[in-house]
Each structure stands twice: as C-alpha cells, then as structure tokens.
Amino acid sequence: MEKDLLFLKKFFGFDQFRPYQREVMTEALKGNDTLLVMPTGGGKSLCYQLPSLLTEKLVVVVSPLIALMKDQVDSLRANGLEAAALNSSFSAKEERNIMDLCMSGQMNVLYMSPERLLNEIPRLVHLNIGLFAIDEAHCISAWGHDFRPEYTRLAVLRESFPGIPVMALTATADKITRKDIITQLGLKNPTVFISSFDRPNLSLNVKSGLISRDRHQEILKFVFQRKDESGIIYCLSRKETEAMSDFMNSNGIQASAYHAGMDAESRKKVQEAFINDQAQVICATIAFGLGIDKPDVRWVIHHNLPKNIESYYQEIGRAGRDGLPADTLLFYSTQDLIRLRQFAEESGQKELQLEKLQRMQQFAEADVCRRRILITYFGEAFETDCGNCDVCRDPREHFDGTIIAQKAASALIRMEEKAGVHMLIDVLRGSRRSEVVSKNYHHLKTYGIGADLSFYDWQAYILQMLNLGVFEMAYDEHFNLRVTPYGRDIVHGRKKIQLVKPKLIPIIKEDRRKKRFAEIIAEAEQELSFDEKLSDRLRMMRRNLAIEEQVPPYIIFNDRTLQDIVSRKPQNLLQLLDVTGISDFKADKYGDVILDTILENTGKKARAKGDTYQETYRLLKSGKSIDEIVAIRKLSSTTICSHIAVLVGKGNLVNVFDYISTENYNKVLKANKIIGQTEILKEYFEYFAGEIPYGDIRLALAEINRRQPMDDELFGDD
C-alpha cells in the first residue's frame, strides 16, 4: 500500500482521496508551486496537511483569522498530529515552546497570519520547512471579493525561501483573480488545479418580491421545519441582523446576532456558541463565516441579495461542508438592488462592482437552472440541468405578458417617469396613500388599472421587466424608473414580451401561523425510529466528549461519520474502522464509548464476534511481536497470523511487511499466478515443499487479495 494512502487512513480515517487531492500533493512533493481552486468542503486543507507526514518536514500555513487557525489546529490534534498557531493570544513562554517543537522537528503544521509570518522570517529560515501554504489566497488580489492589503507582501517568501514550494488555495477565484494570485505571490510556473465548482448537495432556491414582514414569516417557517439544524441567516446591515435575531428568539429559536460593530470578545462568544452547538442560528453580516469550518451547517439563508456571485457562492458554501444535503434560500427585491447599487457607486471599483452586481441580479431573476448559471460563471462547462434548484423542481410557466407590461409602462409615462417601484405599484393598484393623492396620481387614466394583481405580483413582474430591459433605473435620480425604447415599442404594440408567473407564497396570518408552527413542532416530537434514537444518543455522546475536551462536537467526528455509524452499526473495533472519518487514532481514543453507545441502543450486553481481532490489533499497535502475542493470548501462531490476515484485508490497519519478508511475499505472489485462486493453503505449502510456513502464506495471500480486491466476505469477521 502506498505511503500516502496508509497515512490517509491512519490519521484522517479515509480510504481514498477526493478529486485533485493526490495530484496537488504530488506536485508539492516534487517541489513545484501550485494553485488550487476548490469549493468549500472539497478537501483543500488535506492537500497541505498530509505532506507534513510524508516529508517529515514542517508545513507553514498562512491563514487570515485566529478562529480559523484554532479550528484547524484542533482538528489536526484530534487526528494525532502535532499542530499549533502563532498568534497574539499566546504568552511568550507558549510561543517559545511552539518554536522549540518546530526546531526539533516534532511539529507537523504551523499556522500564522500574514503579518506574523513576515515578522517571523528571521526565525523561520532556521526551520526544516517543506511547504508554504497560502490559504484564502483570493485575499491577495484586488480583483477578489475579500481583498486584504497585508496579503500583498507575501511575495517575499519567494525571496527568503527560494527552494521551498508554495501552495496557494482558494474556494472562489475567477480567471482574473487566479492570474493575479500567481503574479502577486511570484509563483514559479505553477500547476493550476481547478476543481469542479459544483456542490450537488446544496439545494439552490430564490424567492423574490417579498416585503420584510413576509420574509420573516417565510424564514421562521423554514427554520421550524429544520429542528436542531444549524444555519446562518445573512443580512445586509447590522441593524437587520439584530432585528432578525430578536425575531427568532421571540419565537423560541435560539439565535445570536453577529456583525463588525460588536467588540471582539462578543463576536468570539457568538462564534464559539455556534461552533459548539449552543446556538442554532446565527444572524450575521458578511463579517461572519471566514473563520468558520463547521461542517454540519445544514442551511444558509440570504435575507438580502449578495453584492456579487463570488460572495454568494462562498457564503452558501458554508453549508453542507460534510457533503450531506443542505438547503440555501435567497430573498431578492428591488430595494436590495437600490442599496447595493449605492454601495457599488461609492466603491473604489465602480464599473467592476456594478458589473458583478448585474450578474448577481441575473442569477436571482433566472428562469433556467440556477446551478448552470452559477457554475458557468466560474468558467466551468455545465451542460445539464441540476434537478436540485427551485427552477428545475418547479419549471417556470411563461405567458404573454404584453398587456401587463403595457399597463406598467403606460402608467409610468403618465407619471412623467418620476416614480420608483413602490409608487408605480401603488398607482397601478389604486392606492389612496397620501403621497399618491398629493401628487394627483389618482386622477391619471392609468390609476387602478392593475388592481387585479397583488403588490407581490406587481413587484415580481417589475423586477422581470427591469431584467428584460423594459425599464431601467435612474440610480442618480432618486432611483426613479425610466421606460426604455424597447418598453415604448411594447406600449405601442410594436413588440411583445414573455413573462414568468410568480410562484404563489401564501401569507399566514398570526393565529393560523401559531397553529401551523404547533403542528410542525408536534410532528417533530412524534415517536422516533430506531436509527433516529441511535443518532440522538450518538449526538449526545459526541457533545459530552466535546465538552470534556473543550473542542467543537464536529472535531470528535462530523455528521457524515455519525450517519455512517448509524447505517453500519459497528459491533467491534474492526467494523468501526470501516466507518468514513474514523482514523486509527480516533478508533483508539473513542472506540469503546462509541461501541458501548451502540450496544446500549440495541439492548445487547456483549460485543459481537470480532473482539478477538481487536485484541490482537491492539497488541500489535503496542509493539508486540507475533511470538509475544502468542504467549500473552495463549493462542497458536497460525491463529494470530490469521488475525493479522483479516486486519490486512481490512485495508490500511497494519503493514504486512512488518511480519513477513519481501522475499517470501514475492515467492507467494509468483506461486499465486501458477496455482490460481484457492483458499486451500496446503496447496501452497506443498508447492514450496514446506519451506514457507502457513502463517507467511496466509499473510502474503491476504496482501495479494487486498491489492486485487475480491469479495469482502473472504476476510469477514467470522
């Protein structure tokens, strides 16, 4: 078994690499610079963590946030690696201890901020460094969505460490940003890896035209239907995050606000409460999320339209990092467009930001597969509909909207094009609002000609007409609407237009809402199935372990691993090691408590057959030889060899060449090609005239079969 796969299972609990992980590491191990663009949850961090084990050299990682560093350090330590972060939270003594471990070669991965890295270069040049990894590399580019000036000084790595490869990693970077990253870091002929931007586990959904009160109702219903699932609600302003948090808490949902206006200590407490499953919902501005590596966020809601597709993609990417299904929901209105347009106008990159906002608007208004729009934006071909967005699940119904467009455009022309969206809708619907009357709009011939449609319908149609070019918005004239030449052609009957019927969103009145929420809660409290009970017990066990060790629950094991445990229901250590995400280290550390929890739920009092292999495995790991284990367990060497053969057949649990010579293995390998497949060891024994013992034959065949996989039952626990 190749060394990288052996370490992958031993330290990370995985049997195989995910796309591009092995290729990226191979380039780095050759000493080549690399740029990796891989979606959140794709496994970027493994690409620089595993090389520290393979090269036995220190990997230095540049990361922008202390919280992100701490999370990565906790994860690595939970897998048995030595990792640390140098930041302002440590005392001088703690820092000396960390540097001593680095100097002695005992540290695998060291995390630092870009500022700290630059200050530490005089000390770093004396360390045995094998790789520099620049995480969140898009921060170096002014074309990126999260530009950080301190990143631009990192090109000094090329000057100070000319022989050490640099790996740049990011989840979101378009072509111009990728090119800028390479230039700014001074990467030498880097191999560029661009993983698929598709996150098929994320469900994409957009709802447009709702006023704030109705959005709140929709969000509340959405969250109630996802009992105990962690989620993030992104809002455009600090005030909105606090209002949303208050609204959630007043309806019995544990939520916290998070924004840049809070002091550092308050933000830290909110973040830790969310990471440790003490707060179900975070209502946040975009200030939240970059330092979060929580894999079990099950949903993300955007209360407002994001400013660009890169931000939107990164923010929804915080859901479903464990690869399990997750939901995303985006709300969108003309008010969002107005506010974001103002922000873009005032930015230092007006034209660029306005163009990016327009692409975001097109995504929100699309009536074709949303995932195709999202993926192709990043330059990746995506030619089939995804089936997991609102457009695919509920195809839009087009109709001839010419009359509706004529009514709206005619009304606006009669208002001398001095009205915004809200005023236009009021006139179309015949509102008696004081502002309408004071401007004498109630005397217009077009007053009330759209009374048959709801405010919600009109807002949805006007959004479409803006997107289709019937109207344009005069952003520099109080955001009034203007009728375009195309719109005037429609008014005069020279052209027609197709519109999409808005999806009906029923607004639940207060008394009915309370009744419906009570029904949802009652449904959630119905009798749980056997697997649901086991899942709940495992979650409680995981939470207790996390509290004991003062780490987030997902550091113990994540939801994907939890689901695999529930599905497999392992009864012994060997079966537990088949679970995704259970490494040797975690099996040793948590195996007994996991297995006992499963037994308690099944009502069994004794572990299943397979514990005899577990005992042999533990003795092997403690360094005992076969002869010593024979003496301790009072079993024959043939039996112990059969145990080792089972362990070999399980994958990466033991190295067969610790117990058999390469010479004997090669002899059995040649004989296997002559004798063929058989379980009768005597045939081999006689073939070698008794020169190779049965134990060696059994072990060699186990390794041969592992390299050429056969039916799993051949080396089953029985």
Please report, for residues 226, 233, 322, 569, the alpha-carbon distance to residue 554 in angstroms, rounded to integers and kept in the order given: 19, 21, 10, 19
What's the pLDDT band for 632 if we cut at 50, 70, 90? confident
How many whole angstroms separate alpha carbon 73 and alpha carbon 94?
15
How much is the average pLDDT of 155-163?
89
A 10 A CB-CB count for 139 gives: 23
How many whole angstroms separate alpha carbon 597 and alpha carbon 616?
23
Encoded tokens for 275 = 């990471």
Say which range, 7-11, 317-321, 339-343, 602-606, has the weakest mean pLDDT: 602-606
pLDDT at 192: 94
pLDDT at 712: 38
Residues 578-605: pLDDT tens digits? 898 888 788 878 888 898 888 887 766 5
Residues 359-414: pLDDT tens digits? 898 899 888 789 988 887 777 777 788 899 999 998 888 899 999 999 999 999 99
| Mean pLDDT score of the chain | 84
pLDDT at 143: 67
What's the pLDDT band for 31 if we cut at 50, 70, 90? very high
pLDDT at 252: 87
How many whole angstroms separate alpha carbon 271 and alpha carbon 290?
11
pLDDT at 627: 87
Q: What are phi and psi of 163, to 5 degrees?
A: -95, 0
How many whole angstroms separate alpha carbon 522 and alpha carbon 499?
40
- Whether the pLDDT of residue 703 is over 70: the answer is yes
How many whole angstroms separate alpha carbon 469 and alpha carbon 226?
39
Chain-centroid distance of CA 325 in Å reads 11
How many whole angstroms separate alpha carbon 555 and alpha carbon 81?
13
What's the pLDDT band for 701 if we cut at 50, 70, 90? confident
**DSSP strand E in 430-540: where?**
471-474, 480-483, 498-500
Q: What are phi and psi of 36, to 5 degrees?
A: -120, 120
Q: Where are the alpha helices (DSSP H) in 366-433?
A: 370-377, 390-393, 402-414, 421-429
Residues 207 and 330 sit within 8 Å (Cβ to Cβ)? yes
Please report, for residues 294, 526, 558, the alpha-carbon distance to residue 320 in angstroms, rounded to integers and kept in the order given: 9, 26, 11
- Whether the pLDDT of residue 716 is over 70: the answer is no
Say which range, 142-151, 231-240, 295-304, has the weakest mean pLDDT: 142-151
How many whole angstroms separate alpha carbon 323 and alpha carbon 331?
24
pLDDT at 504: 60
pLDDT at 479: 75
Say which range, 315-324, 497-506, 697-706, has the weakest mean pLDDT: 497-506
How many whole angstroms separate alpha carbon 696 and alpha carbon 21?
35
How many whole angstroms separate alpha carbon 90 and alpha carbon 439?
65
Residues 538-563: pLDDT tens digits? 988 898 888 888 888 988 988 989 99
pLDDT at 21: 93
- Whether the pLDDT of residue 469 is over 60: the answer is yes
What's the pLDDT band for 525 if we cut at 50, 70, 90? low
pLDDT at 467: 67
Say which range, 316-330, 377-391, 417-431, has the weakest mean pLDDT: 377-391
A 10 A CB-CB count for 128 gives: 13
pTM of the predicted structure, to 2 decimals: 0.67
How much is the average pLDDT of 708-716?
40
Chain-centroid distance of CA 165 in Å reads 27
- Whether the pLDDT of residue 611 is over 70: the answer is no
Residues 91-145: pLDDT tens digits? 888 888 999 999 999 999 999 988 889 888 998 999 999 999 999 888 888 765 5
pLDDT at 514: 57
CB within 8 Å of 120: residues ≥ 6 apart? 86, 112
How many whole angstroms separate alpha carbon 473 and alpha carbon 483?
9
pLDDT at 129: 94
Residues 674-692: pLDDT tens digits? 887 666 778 888 888 888 8
Helix (H) or strand (E) holding 231: strand 230-234
- Whether the pLDDT of residue 416 is over 70: the answer is yes
Residues 176 and 208 sit within 8 Å (Cβ to Cβ)? no
What's the pLDDT band for 225 if we cut at 50, 70, 90? confident
Residues 505 and 207 sit within 8 Å (Cβ to Cβ)? yes
Domains and CATH numbers, the chain: 3-194 (3.40.50.300), 202-393 (3.40.50.300), 398-500 (1.10.10.10), 530-606 (1.10.150.80), 612-715 (1.10.10)
pLDDT at 715: 31
Q: Which residue has the higher pLDDT, 476 or 512?
A: 476
